[in-house]
Amino acid sequence: MKNFVLFGKPGSGKGTQAEYLSEKYKLYHISTGDLFRKNISQNSNLGLLAQSYMDKGELVPDEVTIKMLENEIKENPQSKGFLFDGFPRTIAQAESLDKFLKSIDMQINATIALDVDEEELISRIIDRGKTSNRSDDQDIEKIQNRFNEYNMKTSTLSKYYKDQKKFFEVDGSGSVDEITKRLFELIDSFNLP
């Protein structure tokens, strides 16, 4: 099985590239945002629990998120691998994910970060904001706050995966096709079964 974590600041193209990677490598794409929405819309016990935290304006605890991920993986045994998008975001989450995957004889093969200059990202997000109707995509200060949070949290995560020799950066600038080609070349170079 091929299992990857896809990193990138807001606007880096993670969602777009995740679609191409999932299709080419037959990976099951797990986005934590989608996972929350699915569990909440199904009124699952975990969804109701997550909603109770969100209603109070609190972050959903790692244990709840990890349990959702575990269930999603177990419900998709036919998958040739998984692509984690938006998770892990902290060392504790990465350790929990590693522990769970090890318990089912799996592991993260690589963590791939899309590296894009912040000025280009701001331009992309502002453009996206014109059609997304997301207020946080139209306010440069809010965008910068999202970058700062990403930088603080993922700088320690990149070290965590670098120490395991599983961290790779890909130039995320240029056209969608150029970025996709770089990602395919990197993954193909791993020679995974």
Q: Which one from 2, 9, 14, 67 is the annotated catalytic residue?
A: 14
76 CB contacts (<8 Å, ≥6 apart)?
Answer: 28, 82
Please say if 128 is a catalytic residue: yes
Alpha-carbon distances of 12 from 3, 7, 171, 193, rounded to whole Å:
20, 9, 10, 28
Q: Which one from 128, 142, 153, 166 is the annotated catalytic residue?
A: 128
Please say if 134 is a catalytic residue: yes
Dump the DSSP string for 110-123: EEEEEE--HHHHHH
Stated length of the chain: 193
Please say if 80 is a catalytic residue: no
Count of CB atoms situated within 10 Å of the CB of 110: 19
Place of tokens 């331009």: 123
Please say if 182 is a catalytic residue: no
CA distance 173 to 81: 26
Pairing of strands 2-8, 110-115: parallel
Tokens of 67: 């349990």
**Could you give the 3-state DSSP secondary structure of residue 43?**
coil
Q: Which one from 24, 99, 102, 134 is the annotated catalytic residue?
A: 134
Q: Which one from 38, 142, 146, 182 is the annotated catalytic residue?
A: 146
Q: Which sequence positions are flagged as catalytic? A: 14, 89, 128, 134, 146
